[in-house]
Structure 1
Amino acid sequence: MEIFYDQNKNLVKLSFKKNEWMQEAMHVLVICQYKNQWLLTAHKKRGLEFPGGKREKNETIIQTAHREVMEETGGIIDRLQWIASYQVFGEEPFVKDVFFARISQLVPKDDYQETAGPVLIKGDLMEIRLDDSFSFIMKDDVIKYCISSIQNELLSERKG
């Protein structure tokens, strides 16, 4: 388990073990790749970030991941893998599940909800995510630890 403070000075606990928390995840963060590039969305207020959002009534967390990726990027998920979950102890504490998604297709849309649509990024996201054009969400340690976990898994896949 990793414990740290986010950009808003809230205590965050990140776990790579399923069902670590008593509280059910009501939010998702979906780290996406499309054709060996990172797929982000341009949030109109916060800046560049991975798609994600709140779970709707009568929706599973998996359905939430698929819906949020489609709404914010037009991405169709080919493969979805749970990576971690984390608790944020802010004004209203919450749990968010983090997924890694391989995107098979980007469908152009007229409306990307609260975002300006998909943004593809090649290269080392770990360095450029600290730029001012990126959302505060991209700058905290959740992204650092989850991207590291994904990269380690991708290396294992290539070797295996």
Structure 2
Amino acid sequence: MSYYTFEDFYKNTVELSFTDHPYSLTPKHVWVICRFKGQWLLTEHPRRGIEFPGGKVEKGESAEKAAVREVFEETGATVDALTYLAQYRVKGKGGTIIKNVYFATIEKIKIKAHYYETNGPILMKQLPESIKNNDKFSFMMKDEVLQRSMEYIFKNKILQL
């Protein structure tokens, strides 16, 4: 199946599709599942907790360029390869958000003095199975977007362990 509907952590309706840009050719947000030398590369947001890097697409910027920039800003990492995985739409109380999901392999990580809105990089050999109940992780890690994206990554051999 390449299309899913579910509720997110805040009970908003989420539509997730693994087809090519089903909701918008110019999404305003990106989220990047990162892998570096056999480990997952995440970042720690001071309010939300541990999550994969991501953010807003700036004016005049493509979603792909935003993904590469956000990974560098939040973790100091240089993207080696970026693969589009999916796009999702969240219909929330404050409006609709459309976000591209990418998988990135990381070439290198540079220690930086400032990581913008985060506390910098976090490397994990594996993600805990109980993320949904783990207060250290962001709400963005707790719905089906991550679960379905990981299934897609392994099923389609985008990453082989």
**Alignment-derived partner of residue 100 in structure 1:** 103
Q: CA deviation at 1:22?
A: 4.5
Conserved 8 A contact 2:6-2:144: yes
Is there any run of 5+ residues in structure 1 with no aligned partner, and where?
Answer: none
Instruction: Give the letter for the 1:64 counterpart.
Output: A
How many angstroms apart in 2 are the aligned matches of 1:114 and 1:158?
A: 31
**Alignment-derived partner of residue 55 in structure 1:** 57
**Alignment-derived partner of residue 137 in structure 2:** 134
Conserved 8 A contact 1:23-1:95: no
Q: CA deviation at 1:152?
A: 2.0
Is there any run of 5+ residues in structure 2 with no aligned partner, and where?
Answer: none
Structure 1 residues 157 and 47: CA distance shift in structure 2, 3 A:
closer
Counterpart among 74, 77, 87 of residue 75 in structure 1? 77
Q: CA deviation at 1:126?
A: 5.5
1:82-119 Cα offsets, whole Å, 9 max, x none, are 00000000121011000000001001100001100000
1:112-157 Cα offsets, whole Å, 9 max, x none, are 011000000112x260423110000000110000011112233x77
Counterpart among 96, 116, 119 of residue 116 in structure 1? 119
Q: CA deviation at 1:24?
A: 3.1
Structure 1 residues 157 and 93: CA distance shift in structure 2, 3 A:
closer
How many angstroms apart in 2 are the aligned matches of 1:11 and 1:70?
A: 30
How many angstroms apart in 1 are the aligned matches of 2:159 and 2:53?
A: 25
How many angstroms apart in 2 are the aligned matches of 1:30 and 1:22?
A: 18
Count of aligned positions: 157
How many angstroms apart in 2 are the aligned matches of 1:158 and 1:68?
A: 25
TM-score (norm 1): 0.93
Counterpart among 146, 153, 156 of residue 150 in structure 1? 153
| 1:119 match: secondary structure | strand
Which stretches of structure 1, 4 residues or longer, exceed 6 Å deviation after superposition? none
Identical residues among aligned pairs (%): 44
Conserved 8 A contact 2:75-2:109: yes
